[in-house]
Structure 1
Amino acid sequence: MVIKKRAIIILVVILLTLTGLIGRLMQLQLVSTETFTNRDINLIEASVSQRTQELVIDQGRGRFIDRNKKALTHEYYPTLVLFPFLKNIDWPAEDVAEIVNISATTLKDEIQEAKKPVIVGGDRPIELTESQMNKINNLKIPGVFAVHRQYELDSDIAEHLIGLIRENKDLFEERYPEKTYLPRNTKLGITGLQSTFDEFLLPEGEAKLLYHVAGDGGPLFGIDVKYTAPANPYYPVAIQTTLDKELQLLAERVIEKNNLKKGGIVLLDVESNDLLAMVSKPDINSSNPFEDGTAQNQMIMPQFPGSVFKTVIAAAAIEHQQVSNDRMFNCDQDLYGEGPAEYPHGMLSFQNSFAKSCNYTFAAIAQELIQKDQNVIEQYSEMLGLLGPVGWNGDVFRFQDFKQLPNEYNGRIWTDEKDKHVAKAIAQTAIGQKDVRVTPLGIANMMSTIARGGSKKEVRTVSDVLYKNGTTLFSFSKQDMEGAKIAPYTASRLQELLRGVVTTGTGQRFADLPYKVAGKSGTAETGKKQGEVGLVNKWFAGYFPFENPKYALVVVDLEQPGSESVANTVFYDIVQGIYQIEQEKGTKTDD
């Protein structure tokens, strides 16, 4: 009786186990084929993947190029692909070898140990000509392909401006609920232009070569290789930026060489007001960019400008006829006229006060201006194109009020209107301290505006969105900035003042450059300290060549001990580097 009960129990256990196994098998085969476990594993795709070898040719996301169509994020190279089943069959390796100018033995060695498709040349693939590609593909050898394959560039270029891409399933569902045909782990732009132009850049799908294999790695259904790609021949698109890759790389090299830790540069084309180069430091910590703030682009964030801001006071003084050639200022006095100046200069004219950056002169002028018009400082900041936002803004298809730089901060002059009645607050504001904050991009725009004679323009960072075949999907036209502007006479006087800084003032270091430079220096107290040493923002902002302005350049070294600042050195080296590049281009043109 006991034996019978035990037998029944064992049979029941076996039956339950078999039922559970059958149920599990049904779940795997019929029920949860596409959403297995809480990680939503697609078992069908996983099964196919186990039997498939593939080589991704193009991940499908759009790319960024510079104004000359040079790659900034990834490039397409014509490469030779060999599939591993070739080692088990006879194929005319000699014919392929003759076309690519390498030995047949070398070709065969490439696949001897291969278990997956290989790029001939490995990390340094041989680069084919279009003629070589056509000859190889015309041979129609199974498992031998000449294709344009996508490669990421070895280093990040303009990383803060172009931005980051990441997988984020929640963000994907929030941003693109209607794009159910794309996997939820599709990479999205999360900062910079990658984020701004994300909807243009989204992939339609990958392009790849694939074939099915048996357990031993041999072909499962013969030696046919399948090419799969999105059906839309116009994608992926290319975002053509206004950057000049050569100038961008120059700026990045100069900043690295001089070890600028925090800050950066902005370089504009004066005529078009297009952005040619932008570098922000510190570098992005790709493993944790938001936790430590390294993803922030310092060039579009508000900073203390220091004496660079005196340019605004000068413009207002000129237009309000507040200064004359014979008026002198006592530059032995401090900012408030209450004691001796830290750097006494004696009695100076308005022009020499600007060149020597006399604080007392501009505090006194600002007091007089505000007595006549309390809004004069912010008005002239706007007229010079300083406050921002200064980036391109307009309508793009269904996107109204599309901003190329959506995270660009506005500048500000006052936080409390009552300060306009406080003499010391006005004095501090006049020299770019107190509550004054402006972006380096805004200062570059101001210098570009002055260099053009007062004409204000929005800063473009992207000129076109191009289809895969190179035709235009959308063009961003050059746009003037709205609002009042300074008179041409005022711009001409400001040009003279800025040139005087280099010939007789605080910018004399730049007097021996091959280009004549006009500009303004600035040192702003930040209120921060390193031990007992106060940290400052050091600036030099200007344009060149003086007679025929082509470039506007701003360099800022943020929160550094003044004695350790490299701002002037970086400015000097970039101007020198641009001159050398221009000379080389001229030599090539002559040749």
Structure 2
Amino acid sequence: MWRRRTLGLLFICIFVFILLLVRLMQIQLFKTEAFSKHNVNLLEESVKQRTQELVIDNGRGNFLDRNGEPLTHKKATVLVLFPFLKKTDWDVEKVADITGISQEALEASVESAKKPFAYGKPDPVELTSFQMNQINALKIPGVFAVEKKFERTEVPAEQLLGLTGENAKELKKRYPDKELSEKTLIGVSGLEESFDEFLLPEGKSKLVYHVDGGGAPLFGINVKYVDPANPFYPVNIRTTIDKTVQQKAEELVDHYQIKKGGLVLLDIEDNSVLALVSRPVMNKKDPYNGAGIVNQMLKQQIMGSVFKTVTAAAAIENNLDNPNVLFNCSQKINGKPERKYDYGMLNFTDSFARSCNRTFGELAKDLQKTDSNMLEQFASKLSLTGSVGWQGDIYHTSDFKQLPDEDKGRVFVSDEARKDANFAAMSGIGQHEVRGTPLSVANMMATIARGGQKEMVRTVSKIEYKNGTTMVDFPKKDLKGDTISPYTAMKLQKLLREVVVNPNGTGRWFKNLPYEAAGKSGTAETGKFADGKQLHNKWFAGYFPYNQPKYALVTVNLDVPDNEGGVNLLFADMVKMLYEVNH
């Protein structure tokens, strides 16, 4: 009996020992970099307990502008000091002579330090390459001059580029097969999110030294440089943004106190975003409180008379633009007398230049009698409906979208509205259910300027490996679907120029700009009120120079009273700024 009990106890002990052994093997051998459901990197955590480190580069990929200038970060050569210096006799006087920092300031900063740091608060003191070589030539343990990556506090085109953050649950959902630390940064909005898979870090670059429990050097004062040593990663995302133009555009938007709205500037030749500004400004400390994280340039808005460009295109291709036919612009769209905008009898061209609602309401009704889908067909031909951002198959990803959060435009919501003559009239002037994004409106202007050729809009031109070679290219691509004829495009170009050169045109303010401009204004009732006042969306969309189109520009101010918030001055100053940049 006692022998069976002894054997049973022995088996239990052996079984427990095997379990412990398996657990130990799991910890020490198999799951060292992704232990437990939290994917804890045991090697990193073990090292952290007996080391102090300064991260030089977090390893996540970077965003560059079209000229290779960093957008989300900057690299600066800084003086790095380790806290164990307080326990050694180091040549602080020579370091002070080279850097220009006082000896007392250097000693005080080291004395108060508990971990390695880049000297200077809140902004580290930047050193020249000559100073860096001099510092490192001293070979003082714990004193280094290195190029360190810093995240920018103010990022240009912030809503377009997006944010990163730690989210263990989302990380596991996105990358179930990857062994990543829970603290890995992932993109949570904008291009940071859409390009997240390419931006994931291979590892950090850092300076490390070993310490005992009291923070004293454990194995002497040798500092190690740890680097993933991968010549290909992290990658750089080469955007189409021009950093200089973007920063000037943001200054102008803020100068004109646009609280909600912004602008989109496209390069017509390669149909890419040169600048994109969205307001309100993002609050990085609490981005989801308020509308700051929303990119208003990718959200559908009521566009008002800008949509008359679509109605005009449909009228031209259906021979409804006879210059001898006059429209009664002393009447509103519903036939009642027009008190505020009493223009008298106008032909098609003058109606467009002066933005007569009556004319385009009547034309929309005539078009609807021919085909109830006519306005939608031409909105599609001019790229106002559907997505316009670049999408396609790349690398190992099918149907990749640079702008997955982009809204699609629309003309009608219901078939009932589509077949109603009064709703058709309201839609013909860009009211009722008509919606479009500022990005798609800019693309419409670029399409017209190119003679009717509609293309996808690029915000990124390529992904580059760390060594500068190309990983993925994003070539120019046509948008699928029917297009307007070259003849219609030519007629629209003349109409948009007439808006500016006509003495009574709604864009006459732009007649004497350094670049000849063409475009269309828009003022749309939003249905919202503030202090008893009807609020409006105010637009001007156009392109320039007129004869050799280079830029398409949309400026928009959302939810402002009728007597406030015009965008003409903003549009004009953008044209002047671009002229100055180019000359």
Do they fold alike, i.e. is TM over 0.5? yes
Deviates more, 1:118-127 or 1:37-46: 37-46
Letter in 2 for 1:408: E
- The Cα shift of 1:108 comes to 5.3
Equivalent runs, 1:307-346 vs 2, <5 Å: 307-340=305-338, 342-346=340-344
Equivalent position of 1:11 in the other structure: none
TM value normalised by structure 1: 0.87
Q: Does 1:361 align with 2:387?
A: no
Deviation at 1:514, TM superposition (A): 2.2
Q: Give the distance between the partners of 2:261 and 2:51, measured in 1 at CA.
A: 49
Alignment of 1:522-533 (within 5 A): 522-533=522-533
Q: Distance in 1 between matches of 2:289 and 2:88?
A: 54
- State how far apart, in whole Å, the 2-side matches of 1:415 and 1:101 are: 68
TM-score where L is the length of structure 2: 0.88
SS of match in other structure, 2:523: strand
- Residue 232 of structure 1 is matched in structure 2 by 230
Q: Report the secondary structure of 1:564's partner residue.
A: coil
SS in 1 for 2:511: helix
> Per the alignment, do residues 424 and 339 of structure 1 end up closer, same or farther by CA in structure 2, a change over 3 Å counting?
farther
Q: Matches of residues 391-406 of structure 1 in structure 2 within 5 Å?
A: 391-406=389-404
1:64 maps to a residue whose letter is F
**Residue 3 of structure 1: aligned partner:** none
- Measured in 1, the distance between the counterparts of 2:35 and 2:322 equals 82
Q: Does 1:250 align with 2:237?
A: no
- Once the two structures are superposed, residues 289-342 of structure 1 have per-residue CA deviations (whole angstroms, 9 ceiling, x without a partner) of 345443221111111110000001111112222122222111111113354464
Instruction: Say yes or no: does 1:512 pair with 2:512.
Output: yes
Contact 1:331/1:341 (CA < 8 Å) preserved in 2? no
Q: Could you say which residue in structure 1 is the equivalent of 2:15?
A: none
Alpha-carbon distance between aligned partners in 1 of 2:208 and 2:346, rounded to the nearest angstrom? 78
Cα deviation, residue 105, structure 1? 7.0
- Secondary structure, aligned partner of 1:566: coil
CA contact (8 A) 1:335 1:341 kept: no
> Any runs of at least 4 consecutive aligned residues in structure 1 with deviations exceeding 4 A, and if so which?
29-48, 90-110, 129-132
* Contact preservation (8 Å) 2:39, 2:182: no
The answer to whether the Cα contact below 8 Å between 1:260 and 1:566 also exists between their aligned partners in 2 is: no
Distance in 2 between residues matched to 1:48 and 1:185, nearest whole Å: 16
Say how many residue pairs are matched. Answer: 555
3-state secondary structure, aligned to 1:538? strand
- The 1:44–1:497 alpha-carbon spacing in structure 2 relative to 1, beyond 3 Å, is closer
2:377 is the alignment partner of 1:348: no
Question: Counterparts in 2 of 1:61-210, with a 5 A limit?
Answer: 61-91=60-90, 111-130=110-129, 132-134=131-133, 136-180=135-179, 182-210=180-208
Is 1:541 the counterpart of 2:538? The answer is no
Aligned to 2:571: 571
- State which drifts further: 73-82 or 157-166: 73-82
- Residues 26-37 of structure 1 mapped to structure 2, 5 A cutoff: none
Matched-pair contact (CA < 8 Å) for 1:265–1:554? yes
Q: CA 1:208–1:358 in structure 2 vs 1: closer, same or farther (change >3 Å)? A: same
**1:213 alignment counterpart:** 211
| Aligned position for 1:553 | 553
Quote how far apart the aligned CAs of 1:481 are.
1.5
1:489 deviation in Å?
2.1
- Residue 469 of structure 1 corresponds to 467
> Match for 2:190: what amino acid?
G
Quote the Cα distance in structure 2 between the aligned partners of 1:558 and 1:436.
Answer: 15
Q: Aligned-pair distance for 1:456?
A: 1.1
What's the CA shift for 1:159?
1.4
Deviations 1:512-547 (A, max 9, x none): 322222111111111111132111111111111222
Letter in 2 for 1:525: E
Match of 1:211, as an amino acid? Y
Matched residues in 2 for 1:50 and 1:429: separation? 67
User: What's the RMSD between the two structures over aligned residues?
Assistant: 2.7
Q: Quote the residue 1:521 is aligned against.
A: 521
Aligned to 1:490: 488
Shift of 1:43: 8.6
CA distance in 1, matches of 2:299, 2:421: 28
Measured after TM superposition, the shift of residue 288 of structure 1 is: 4.2
Letter of the 1:154 counterpart: T
Point out the more displaced range, 498-507 or 80-89: 80-89
Unpaired runs of 5+ residues, structure 1, are 1-25, 587-591
Aligned 8 A contact 2:384 2:410 in 1: no
Q: Is the 8 A contact 1:334 1:342 kept in 2?
A: no
